[in-house]
Amino acid sequence: MLIKFAEMIDSKTINQIIRFGVVGVTAAATHFCVALMLTEYVGVAIQISNLIGFWLGFILSYAGQVLFTFKAKLSRDNFLSYLGLGLINYCIACAIIFIGDFWLPNWAVLGGTVVLIPLFSFLVSKLWIFR
């Protein structure tokens, strides 16, 4: 696995990592801003605002990763795989939080989640979804 990972690190992969980060930050900002605006200015319940913001961010993330990061084609198959990855990421994040809560402070648990989930997502996206 380490050899495979070392072979992946070339200029194309470095550019993909940067683009992956840009798309991810943009999608997260979209989620946050949409949810906040709907809640604060439109008066929508925060649970509904969060749901709408999440899905808009998810769609932006999918389109950005396909078209900008990995330069693939939009398809039903890679959309369903990306959706599955999102669900797996959520479960992993919950597990990290559940397990880490026993030994680590909250900032460390959440910080670890914020670092590990994008790393896992990039590897799965590059090696499986958009290969």
Per-residue model confidence as pLDDT tens digits over 92-108: 988 988 888 888 888 88
Averaged pLDDT of the chain? 91
CB burial readout 67-95, b (16+ within 10 A) else e: eebbeeeeeeebeebbeebeeebeeebee
pLDDT at 106: 86
Instruction: Kindly state the tokens that stand for 24.
Output: 């991810």
pLDDT at 44: 93
pLDDT at 7: 66
Q: Which pTM was predicted?
A: 0.83
